[in-house]
Structure 1
Amino acid sequence: MPMSRKHRPTLEFAFPVKRRARAALRSLILVLLFLSSEWSFAAQPSFFRFGIPQIASASIADFGSLNTPLQTGDRLKACGPVLCTVSSPTSVRLFGVNLLFGAALPDAEQAAQLARHLRALGVNLVRLHGLDSLSSAGGTGPIGLLTSGPFPTLDEQAVDRLRDFLEQLRENGIYADINLHVSYQFRPAIDHTQALPSGGPWPNQSKPLLLIDETAIALQARYAQMLLERLRGAGEPALALVEINNESSLVYHWMDGTLKRLVTGRLQATLVAEWRRYCEAHGVARCAEDNGIVPLNTADSSKAAAFLRFLSEKDKRYVDTVAAAVKHVNPDLLVIGSQMNFGSLANFRSFSAMDVLDDHFYVDQYQFPRGMWRWDNWQITDRSNIATGLVPLLGAAFYRSFDKPFLITEFNQPWPNRQSSEILPETVAFASLQDWSGLVFHDYAQTRDAYTADSPLEFSLVGDATKLVQFGQAAWIYRTGAIARLDAVMSYGMDDALILDATRARTTDGLAALLEQHGVINASSPFSARVGYAADAQATQTTAPATEARARFDLRARHVVINAPGVEGVTGYLQPGQRYDYGTFQIKLDPAARGFISLTLSARDNREIRQSRSLLLTVPGYTVGSAMSSRGPVPLDLSGTSAPLDYSLKHVFEAPSPRWTLFAPATHEIISLRAVKPPVWMERVPCTLTFSSSAASLRVYPLDANGHRLAALEPRFVRKTRDGFAIDLQAPGQAPSPWFELSASD
């Protein structure tokens, strides 16, 4: 778990006292360049009040019909590069959310309500994350599965809650993915793991020591077996996936320097002794001189390559050991080792025996200058994924292997990024073209009391109205294959030299660029073909004739256009006042708009858009909380418009990219993201949509926060054209809303 702006913006430039004028000028140039590129279309803002969506049953926003209760034949299995069920070879796609810590352990009443709400959002997978936390004594219930006793001592109340939740998930057609190691910190005096020379505690989350210490590895296998035995029969076949270790591998820790820094004393001696035995067995020269961790960059290539193979084999033995414990209890469970970008290309070998491969990516992850998860000292870059080249999506594409299903079990562009309405449509479109098997948003909630959030909260979906408006629609697009996969296939192979280069370059999200630099495959190949690693690939190859993609990514124009039979739309930057023609539909942003849009129109009656008589249209702007003024609550806009009020925007001059945070002018103290208050406001995105339709008439209903119809738009806002209809959206005189129900008739 990576646990992360219209008056004209008013910015306070705060330079450190010791910063020289030359450095200040350089920073000023940076911000001017940033403003000219990212804010080139900036205009006067306009906001409207909008509540946090709670999807009304049987409304057009309710996507619960995608799910039915899971039966024995619905158990998931790996069918080559896709998931299917034991009763059908038809590909199954998973679309879900992460539940963290206590949020993954609801009580009986909460479990039933939560499962129904997730079903309405189109969710068919929950990833239960951080369950290896110590349960708190008393309070409102457990936050993890473990007690303070020796690892692994299970908290029976927590296990009972998890069993009940799995049954509620089964009843609502939702699979579960349980993460085994996320946060537990081994305690040598209690767990009898190796003590550190300092006598102090193991590092945070026990990484990387839990991958080396044989006692810790055996205890992890025991934990997996004990937990799965206790869950036997609960909600079957809802429990479908098990992840062994979140975001970790020895290769990754060698890459990021923590292997050398944290593996000390007897653990280091043990690792070095194993390395020397490996050298002797494999004919690696001059290993006797190694008294510590082989340096990544300064060792000669032959020794570095050998040490990389050694670490990769240890990673493989670790995940294979824990996987064997999982399979001993339930051979039908699908096992994931860790995330592919935490170890790069070497992980194809380390995780070769795993059932499924997995990856994580974030756009504009929070930065914490004074320590991780210090919400009173945070920064963001406010960058757009499409405007910065879709680097994490392109990189993830090449972590897929053509012999296993591929999932993204964490992704987000967390609030308050102003372009975050792009993350769902862009990711869903890209993953549909690539035919990945699952997408899991991070996160839904981290605590049980956040299930009914009334304002945005960090990564969480529950308080993010922007994404909640889009979520069910995105789930439907992805799960139904509304955007057809690409026909062409391009695979690539690798050798030891390439794996070492990727490791030495510390490649994580930037795999696409590295492969192109080495002449292996073009970084832009995922826009025209399904790409991935193949063990038998001799060279890049294309099979099947290429057809026009139903989603077209234009990195130069900085937007993606979806033009499929049942769904169409555009996400990204458009010039206000200019009309864009995409064939079956046209978009024109009002001159007052900021210049960023995420508009999606989808049929809700299983017809093509032109023939559909029931459609859902979403066009959310970015979301902000409130500040107090003499007029009452007003939008707390992170673009800086609230400077005359209680809060303002602070620009932090740091290369290579400008960063932003929120602070109180009176005290110059940063405002915690956890202190943002309701009510919630959403940016208006005034625009005109023209689309093709065979219907004779059309009524357009703005929807309230729960998806219920409001009064239909007046006829002056809905005009019949020669080939369909033109609709003015979020215009003055309308009830403001980010989503609409379109009801057509003959």
Structure 2
Amino acid sequence: MSHLLQAPAGQNGFIRIENGHFVNDAGRVWLNATNLTGSANFPSHPDADLLAERLARFGINCVRLHYMDANYGNFKEEPEQGIFTIDPSTQRNLDPDQMDKFDYMISRFKAKGIYVNINLHVARKMDDRDGFSGSDQRPALDKGVDNFEPRMIELQKEFARDVLLHRNPYTGFTYAQEPAVAMVEINNENALFRQYFIGNIDKLPNPYALELRKQWNDWLHENYKSVDELSRAWSLSKEDLESPFEKREVATIKRDVEYSPSRRDFYKFMYDAEHKYWTGMYAFIKDELGVKPVVSGTQLRYTSPFLQADLDYVDIHAYWCHPSPVNPNWEIGNVSMVNSMHYMYELAGQRIEGKPYTISEYNHPFPNQYGAEGQPMLRAYGRLQGWDGVFQYTYNHRKDFQPQAMTYFFDMIARTDVLAHMPACAAIYLRGDVQEAEEAVVAEVNHMTYFDQLSREKKVTVGIEKAGYAPELALMKRTSIKLTEKPAAVGEADHLEDRIIRSTTGELTWNREIEGAAYWTVNTDNTKLFTGFPEGRDIDLGEISLKIGKTRLGWATVSLVSQNGKGFGKNAYSSKILLTATGLVENKGMEIEQLPKNKIRLSDWGEGPVQAEGIPAKIVFPLPAGKVQCYALDAEGNRKEAVSVKKSKKRGFCEIVIGPEFKTVWYEIETH
């Protein structure tokens, strides 16, 4: 699918914003993307060449460069070096060898038409080496603290300067002036509000707790001219407040304090502190460093959408069945999202009207056995909704770019069931096979009403259902929330009970006629896709019909993509079609432990090679058998065996029967 990419990336100028969307000089920009994590951001030069080539072939036109500001490891693997030198005295110096690998990789991406998203703070946690005490008592990765602690903010600016003003010798541009940089993210999944709500701010050691109290008291003095005014506002006696107010020693409000005027004020203080941080970092990046790419703060659901809307675009993350906890005692839900479509309508319902919207992390993590459904759903509804970027998390998190097994929860690099449908994802989203909805639901959210919810319910999230709209409307038409200072309707909405919910474009259908055995389809001129529980049903995909046989999960994902965009034979054009069929995929020797409540754990992760179930299915095409040829493909995409094409009972049609005997997930079909 590399023909869909515009190479080199940035040839049509910088990505900018017009009418609430990403554009460049050639028009709208859609980012069909993935992530690299940790040491995967620093491949060898040969690996970088292969990586860029492979991602381009899958139709990936943007890569988010994530978690590069610390050594990355996990409970299964030792840490591997990030962007900083390994130095016992500091963690502030960029490593020249790592930067060379980073620069070369980005130059190869650019050459292939692949943009990058540069993440700034993700994981660096300051310690005694650089004068920060109590690292073991602060929140993980300094989350929340680095929103207000002045020295930490200055070091974030230093890192931004070092990276963004660094000149890539392979392209000749600094990253501040590089048109192949799509965007810059300030701070991943990080907000003072989030850390306060989970109790971490209450446990801060000094000097961080004292710094927060100082800023709180400064805020009180800026907003109240006298202790008398504060006493009236808080309905507390002047005697109790006078001494701490005058000495600037009013205590911060603990998380579990009941709602009160003082708690509401403390929330206002945190809101203002975050606003100062996000807008201050933004101004530094854009104005002082002169960064041309667009900039975002952090993700929705960690802080207020009103705060994030102050920056260029809005981002969010979501995971279906995220492993919990992420340690040796992990467990993961093992159910399909097709029975609920939960995250599709939840993500759509939180979009902010008038702002570009990206989902920079999305996954149905391994070993959830239904992972193939996730990325096609994200791409299809992303295009229906007009979202500006959709990112799988993550392509790889290690230096090994030829793994033979699935070794961690989030990687796509060896996950056959997910990778195999990425060509369909590129066609759906990047080529635009799915149409953007013309009909829209825009729910207004009043700032004062929202802040009341925030301070009373400790909830930063808001969506269309809070304004009385059924969330499933997002499966039918474009949805968003409009942030306003004007009065707006408030009210909980009932869920839609329809057993079949179809997009207003007619291309996306969610069928839940059989309880617990739903399915979902894409039916466009050049892409067809099924995912879900077949239950012996004939699946109507327009001119194509599909019937899937018995599988190990009673579930499968099947996609068909006209690679040259000439359809499936009905229009008399010759066409080259990629047929992909996946079900259960696992490592050799992998052992699953069944747990209560539809959860699983791996007692043995197994080893390579990855093994994929062959899916039995019959596909009926709208052409005579003599005009259709089919071939099973090997792992490299080469033809290895012809598949017979037979005359169908339906006049003028033919049928192709695939199955486990072909030992592949990919087939090539030619129509003449």
TM range (shorter): 0.7 to 0.9
Deviations 1:121-170 (A, max 9, x none): 1111111111111599xx99953234434352221222222222221111
**8 A Cα contact 2:164 2:174, kept in partner:** no
- The answer for the alignment partner of 1:131 in structure 2 is 68
- The answer for the alignment partner of 2:298 in structure 1 is 338
- Name whichever of 74-83 and 580-589 sits farther off: 580-589
1:457 corresponds to which of 404, 407, 410: 407
2:327 corresponds to which of 373, 378, 381: 373
What's the CA shift for 1:742? 0.8
> 1 or 2 for the larger relative contact order (CA 8 Å, sep ≥6)?
1
Could you say what secondary structure the match of 1:534 adopts? strand
What's the CA shift for 1:293? 3.9
Matched residue type, 2:655? A
What's the CA shift for 1:411? 0.8
Unpaired runs of 5+ residues, structure 2, are 225-229, 491-502
Relative distance call for 1:309 and 1:391 in structure 2 (3 A) is farther
Paired residues for 1:239-388 under 5 Å: 239-261=181-203, 263-282=204-223, 285-286=233-234, 288=241, 292-296=251-255, 298-300=257-259, 302-327=261-286, 328-343=288-303, 346=304, 348-368=305-325, 372-374=326-328, 377-387=329-339
Paired residues for 1:434-473 under 5 Å: 434-449=385-400, 451-458=401-408, 459-473=410-424
What's the CA shift for 1:214? 0.6
Could you say what secondary structure the match of 1:230 adopts? coil
- The answer for the alignment partner of 1:607 in structure 2 is 566
What's the CA shift for 1:303? 4.0
Q: Distance in 2 between matches of 1:522 and 1:140?
A: 45
Q: Does 2:180 match 1:238?
A: yes
Q: Distance in 1 between matches of 2:576 and 2:422?
A: 18
What's the CA shift for 1:730? 1.0
- The answer for the alignment partner of 2:438 in structure 1 is 487
Could you say what secondary structure the match of 1:294 adopts? coil
Matched residue type, 1:700? C
Q: Distance in 1 between matches of 2:262 and 2:138?
A: 29
Q: Distance in 2 between matches of 1:280 and 1:491?
A: 39
- The answer for the alignment partner of 1:215 in structure 2 is 151
What's the CA shift for 1:436? 0.5
- The answer for the alignment partner of 2:611 in structure 1 is 681
What's the CA shift for 1:108? 2.1
Matched residue type, 1:465? T
Q: Does 2:657 match 1:728?
A: yes
What's the CA shift for 1:64? 4.8
The number of aligned residues is: 621
Matched residue type, 2:95? D
Q: Distance in 2 between matches of 1:113 and 1:152?
A: 31
Q: Distance in 1 between matches of 2:578 and 2:72?
A: 43
Matched residue type, 1:739? W
Could you say what secondary structure the match of 2:662 adopts? coil
- The answer for the alignment partner of 1:55 in structure 2 is none
Matched residue type, 2:359? I
- The answer for the alignment partner of 2:665 in structure 1 is 738
Q: Distance in 2 between matches of 1:201 and 1:256?
A: 15
What's the CA shift for 1:302? 4.3
Relative distance call for 1:292 and 1:481 in structure 2 (3 A) is farther
Q: Does 2:46 match 1:109?
A: yes
Relative distance call for 1:431 and 1:200 in structure 2 (3 A) is closer
What's the CA shift for 1:539? 5.3
Q: Distance in 2 between matches of 1:502 and 1:383?
A: 32
Unpaired runs of 5+ residues, structure 1, are 1-61, 628-635, 637-646, 664-670
Paired residues for 1:697-716 under 5 Å: 697-716=627-646
- The answer for the alignment partner of 1:618 in structure 2 is 580
Relative distance call for 1:292 and 1:587 in structure 2 (3 A) is farther
Q: Distance in 2 between matches of 1:694 and 1:82?
A: 44
What's the CA shift for 1:697? 1.7
Q: Distance in 2 between matches of 1:712 and 1:304?
A: 71
Relative distance call for 1:71 and 1:217 in structure 2 (3 A) is closer
Could you say what secondary structure the match of 1:157 adopts? helix
Q: Distance in 2 between matches of 1:276 and 1:415?
A: 47
**8 A Cα contact 1:696 1:744, kept in partner:** no
What's the CA shift for 1:339? 0.8
Under a length normalisation based on structure 1, what TM-score does the superposition of the two structures give? 0.77
Relative distance call for 1:711 and 1:72 in structure 2 (3 A) is closer
**8 A Cα contact 1:691 1:724, kept in partner:** yes
Q: Does 2:53 match 1:99?
A: no
Deviations 1:417-437 (A, max 9, x none): 111111121111111111101
Under a length normalisation based on structure 2, what TM-score does the superposition of the two structures give? 0.85
Relative distance call for 1:552 and 1:306 in structure 2 (3 A) is farther
Q: Distance in 1 between matches of 2:524 and 2:667?
A: 20
Could you say what secondary structure the match of 2:332 adopts? coil
Q: Distance in 2 between matches of 1:592 and 1:460?
A: 25
Q: Does 2:521 match 1:561?
A: yes
**8 A Cα contact 2:624 2:654, kept in partner:** no
Could you say what secondary structure the match of 2:582 adopts? coil
Could you say what secondary structure the match of 1:445 adopts? coil
- Name whichever of 155-164 and 172-181 sits farther off: 155-164
Relative distance call for 1:506 and 1:719 in structure 2 (3 A) is farther
Paired residues for 1:497-512 under 5 Å: 497-501=449-453, 512=463
Deviations 1:228-256 (A, max 9, x none): 11136158321221111110111111222
